Amino acid sequence: MNATHEVTNQPPPLAGYNAWTGDRVLVAAARRADAGWIEPEATGMGELVGSERMRLLADQANRYGPALKTHDRFGHRIDAVEFHPAYHELMGLAFGTGLHSIAWTSRHPGAFAARAAMNYVWNQGEQGISCPVTMTFAGVQVLRHAPALAAEWEPKLTARSYDPRPLPIAKKTGATIVMAKTEKQGGSDLRSNSTLAVRDGDSFLLTGHKWFCSAPMCDDFLALARLDDRVTCFLVPRSLPDGSRNPFYLQRLKDKIGNRSNASSELEFRDTRAWLVGPEGKGIATLIEMAHLTRFDIVVATAGMMRAGLTLALHHCEHRAAFGAKLIEHAAMQNVLADLALESEAATLTAFRLAQAFDRGASEPNERLLARIMTPLAKYWLCKRNPVFTVEAMECLGGTGFVEDGPFGRLFRESPLNGIWEGSGNVICLDVLRSVEREPESLSALMREIAAAAPENAQLKAMLGRLEREFRDRANLESRARRLVEMAATALQASLMLRHADPRAADAFCASRLGGDWGHVLGTLPAGTDCRALAERLRLQ
């Protein structure tokens, strides 16, 4: 038996690497965005994400997903979700490093970019936890519309502590917050929300259903409900100040295609106690602020996921041989890896330029405008590229890529999700148009950003002229929305590549993505491209 079971030509496990220090493109992007100071913490995160421990935790938390417990053994409603210990450990690791709060707690410049660096690395290891992390990060901003609530909640929401106990906020060491807005009849069109709010003394009582509510073991839901028939935002705590359970009812957990470590529920409010957040009747506008931040996080997370796929593909092809040579030495494979490398680098540069715009936007109007338009633009484009990218990276591993033992199953199933939630593709493209319509200067900010590299490259110069014409043409804008956004996003990435990537990579990006010397799938870079060198550049050090 033993003699036949000789294992040869299998790559060593990808473990014991550092996803931060080993990634030159990432470190340079973060430094450029004023986030160099996060290096000690990012190094720790990079080591964790490259460790066998992280691989095991991510595998277990997703393999043994959450289970709904509606009642205790005596028949009382508890509406709780039980998780595998690996989930709690991951939550402890994420919240313990301030993954959710660095942007709010740090006094350094580049705090958004520093958080982006940590988030980029984290998302290479596990994605389900990112949901409560991102919601808690973004929820802080929304709660500031209710200063009295913020005074009580913000210190707990930004604490480096994971405290899953269902206790009143005063007794918690750390807290999480999520969003309950989507209802059965409408997720994109939140004007259709039917949950009702009625005044009850200083607070309110909500009654209605929510069709999707993720991470329902949080301490606080930001919920939309109609108050005097106008959609309004409320804070709904899990536990009331006197320690009693705020009555809400988890109906079931979604049996999701991916994102399995994260619980997503259907829930009902029935006379559930709530407090007002933001102006009455302005609930959608209030939560859109949150969506702006969650979309930013999605851009960063998606770039991180693409990096994870690329790292796996490069590692495999370096070690696996076929037809007498390592896979990475075969010209056809080099073209695939090089194309993946270009796509990943462009995604990374996009994410960190966006983070920089968020940081600088606080004091520079042009950067605020850029962040406004670039957030949906980048969310749309990276989320569209990621599933295509992931499938191609998975194929580099051959059959092994399609087996659940490895992380590709998770990356693959996760890959469409960021494109769906927090604004699906069309809605996001329409948001880019809305930005142009309401703040035309945001388009100027975007054009200036693209133009920063245009003199260096004829293809980009030509694309800039085309974009200006296309945006001036007001006919059939909605129907042309995806095309416009795709063109602008690609031009922006080309500009970033020309300014920050190796000239060979930038030229190959422009020739393929702008010049049309490209096929319909990845791995079709023009003949004469130094594909081996382009792939090697992105190899972890």
Please select the residue that binds ligand FAD; options are 424, 480, 518, 536, rule is CB under 6 A: 424
Nearest CA to 508 out of 523, 488, 492, 486 is that of: 523
Rounded least distance, CB 226 to ligand FAD, Å:
15
Ranked by CB distance to ligand FAD, the top (closest) residue is 187
Residue 213 Cα distances to 21, 122, 131, 171, 394, angstroms: 36, 23, 11, 25, 31
Kindly write down the DSSP assignment for every residue of 8-22, as one continuous string: -S-PPPS-S--TTTT
Please give the Cα distance from 117 to 27 (Å, whole number): 8
CB nearer to ligand FAD: pick between 17 and 248: 248
CB nearer to ligand FAD: pick between 30 and 284: 284
Amino acid 279 reads P
CB nearer to ligand FAD: pick between 128 and 523: 128
CB nearer to ligand FAD: pick between 188 and 524: 188
Stretch 239-268: interaction string toward ligand FAD, x if CB under 6 A: -----------------x--x----x----
Stretch 276-315: interaction string toward ligand FAD, x if CB under 6 A: ----------------------------------------
* Residues 172 and 328 sit within 8 Å (Cβ to Cβ): no
Size of the site for ligand FAD (CB under 6 A): 22
Question: What stretches of 429-474 adopt beta strand conformation (E)?
Answer: none
Residues 129-148 close enough to bind ligand FAD by CB under 6 A: none
Supply angle C-alpha 386, 392, 396, rounded to 5: 135
- Residues ≥6 apart with Cβ < 8 Å to 494: 346, 450, 453, 457, 459, 460, 463, 506, 509, 510, 513, 514
CB nearer to ligand FAD: pick between 298 and 453: 298
**Separate counts of helices (H) and strands (E) for the chain:** 19, 11
Name the phi and psi angles at 398, rounded to 5. 60, -145
CB nearer to ligand FAD: pick between 176 and 459: 176
Please select the residue that binds ligand FAD; options are 30, 113, 179, 514, rule is CB under 6 A: 179
Residues 187-216 close enough to bind ligand FAD by CB under 6 A: 187-189, 212-214
User: By CB under 6 A, is residue 168 in contact with ligand FAD?
Assistant: no
* Choices 122-130, 200-208, 419-427, 490-498; region in contact with ligand FAD by CB under 6 A: 419-427
Please give the Cα distance from 413 to 85 (Å, whole number): 22
Furthest-apart CA pair in the chain: how many Å? 79
Rounded least distance, CB 261 to ligand FAD, Å:
12
User: By CB under 6 A, is residue 178 in contact with ligand FAD?
Assistant: yes
Rounded least distance, CB 265 to ligand FAD, Å:
8
Beta bridge partners of 266: 252
CB nearer to ligand FAD: pick between 45 and 231: 231
Binding region for ligand FAD (CB under 6 A): 178-182, 186-189, 212-214, 256, 259, 264, 417, 420-421, 424-427
